[in-house]
Amino acid sequence: MALYTLEGSGNGNGAGSYLAAFERKEGSQLQLAGTTLVSGFGVAAQKVGLKEGTVHVTLLVPGPDDPACCPSTEEESLYVFHGGKWLQVQPSS
């Protein structure tokens, strides 16, 4: 698993952060298994961690008085990689 950011996509100054999953194929080579967008305009991915098979992504999202450029409120998004796809899941209570 990796979290990466692409900046300047579409010839602009925007950025998007993605989760990538890799799987090991024949021998020791890793191959990309799937990606998903986890943040974009007005949202910033801060850190990523793995806990009991679930990926926890800490995001900064706009607070009530934040300008679009500068999110300040932390929020956690949860993802699992299943059946070759990333799925966003709800936290268990």
Residues across the chain: 93
| Rounded CA separation 51/19 (Å) | 15
Tell me, rounded to whole angstroms, the distance of Cα 90 from its chain centroid.
15
What mean pLDDT, rounded, does the chain reach? 89
Q: Which residues contact 67 (CB under 8 A, 6 or more apart)?
A: none
pLDDT of 93 over the 80 cut: no
pLDDT at 85: 95
Write the pLDDT tens digit of every residue in 54-87. 999 999 999 999 987 889 999 999 999 999 999 9
What ranges in 22-92 are assigned the alpha helix state H? none
If pLDDT is split at 50, 70 and 90, which confidence band does 21 have? very high
Query: Counting runs of H as helices and runs of E as strands, what totals does the chain give?
Result: 0, 7
Calculate the alpha carbon distances from 61 to 31, 75, 92 in Å.
32, 7, 22
Residue 13 CA to residue 52 CA, distance in Å, equals: 36
At residue 10, the pLDDT reads: 64
